[in-house]
Amino acid sequence: MIRRLGEHKAGICLAALGLALMGYGIYRGEAAVCFQKAINICMECIGIG
Amino acid sequence: MGKKKITNEWKRHRVQILWALLTNSYLIGFVQGKIYKGKLKNLCVPGLNCYSCPGAAGTCPIGAMQAVIGNWNFKFAFYAAGFLVFVGALMGRFVCGWLCPFGLIQDLLYKIPFPRKLRTFKGDRLLRKLKYVVLLFFVILLPMFLVDVLGQGAPYFCKLICPVGTLEGGIPLVLLNKSMHGALGWLYAWKNVLLLFTVFLSILIYRPFCKYICPLGAVYSVFNPISVFRYRIDREKCVGCGACAKVCKMQVNPAENPNHPECIRCGQCKKACPQQCIH
């Protein structure tokens, strides 16, 4: 078990870093910007804007 | 052997179909010509799935990244980048092979018979680097620096390149909303040409968009060698027969590098190995 955890050390550390970055992004209010973009039709994405 | 291989590939396709349905479960949107506006759209999905698809229940991480980078208030997208680091560190390009709706579409298109399928060609290896250029320029640098008077950058990858938005969002929304017809112009035509080209290439070449263009695949590929879910080779058992490399449609040699950046974890090499030495 401990050996397996050791094998995955880099992956686990990076996953934790990813979560921390997500948390910081949410704290800064980025999720709200993404949400606003996602709930309105993105004209550029569909080739109109 | 042949029959077993086909059956096993459909097992993966069933997972892909289920995941595509789950992440595009707002089916009423395809009837009404509207998109989902609920709270689930606060969350990113791991694959390339346009949030303007009428069925989309979540947010495309590449779209989210451009939206935040292009916003005058921010300039770097920690939320979307963190999500990609998190998913990449856990799964690497397993997402491409199992959880991306556009990967599924390309898989199915490649099953269409064609007189001569292209396995590889001169310049194939070099062209695979293009996806990193697309990621750097169209997803990060252009939305960051090519801004309007308010300091807002457009989502240039979605706007100029992404065929997923055209297929999942543009075509159904335009078909279902007559009010949009008047707004169609050169950009819509360009994106449809790109989509048709991608569809044609996908019949000819296995997953051309994933191999050469996809910025999401570019991000996940970096994590392939260290992701928690990855392949291991039992070197003592491996006889170097080359069966794994022969069956790989991404042209990876798993015996040399089982976690090559191009590996999408489809598992065909595991099934082909006569010694069962890929785990």
B166 Cβ under 8 Å from any chain A Cβ: yes
Cα gap B13→B110, rounded to integer Å: 13
Residue with tokens 């490649």: B110
Over residues A6-28, the mean pLDDT reads 94
Q: How many residues does chain B have?
A: 279
> Residue B210 in 3-state DSSP?
helix
Instruction: Give the mutation candidate from B193, B228, B259 for the A interface (greatest A CB count, under 10 A).
Output: B228
CA A48 to chain B, closest CA, distance in angstroms equals 6
**In chain B, residues 91-150 whose CB comes closer than 8 Å to chain A:** none
pTM value is: 0.93
Q: Does residue B263 contact residue B125 with C-beta atoms inside 8 Å? A: no
Torsion-angle region of residue A9: left (phi > 0), alpha (psi -120 to 50) or beta? alpha
pLDDT of residue B1: 45
Q: Is the pLDDT of residue A29 over 60?
A: yes
pLDDT of residue B75: 82
According to the model, what pLDDT value does residue A2 have?
Answer: 57
Q: Is A5 on the interface with B (CB under 8 A)?
A: no
Strand partners, B153: B147
Q: Residue A4: is its pLDDT beyond 80?
A: no
Query: What confidence score (pLDDT) does residue A21 get?
Result: 98
Is B158's CB within 8 Å of A42's CB? Answer: yes
- Which residues of chain A from 6 to 35 reach within 8 Å of chain B, CB to CB? 8, 10-15, 17-26, 28-31, 33-35
Among the listed residues B147, B132, B135, B25, the one whose alpha carbon sits nearest the alpha carbon of residue B80? B135
Segments of chain B with pLDDT less than 70: 1-7
Q: How far is CA B72 from CA B77, B108, B150, B240, in A?
A: 12, 40, 7, 55
The answer to whether B226 contacts A24, with C-beta atoms less than 8 Å apart, is no
Q: Give the integer Cα–Cα distance in Å for B232 and A30.
A: 38
Using the Cβ of B190 and the Cβ atoms of chain A, whether some distance falls under 8 Å is answered with yes
Q: Residues in chain A, how many?
A: 49
Residue of B nearest to A20 (CA): B82
- Given this model, what pLDDT does residue B225 score? 94
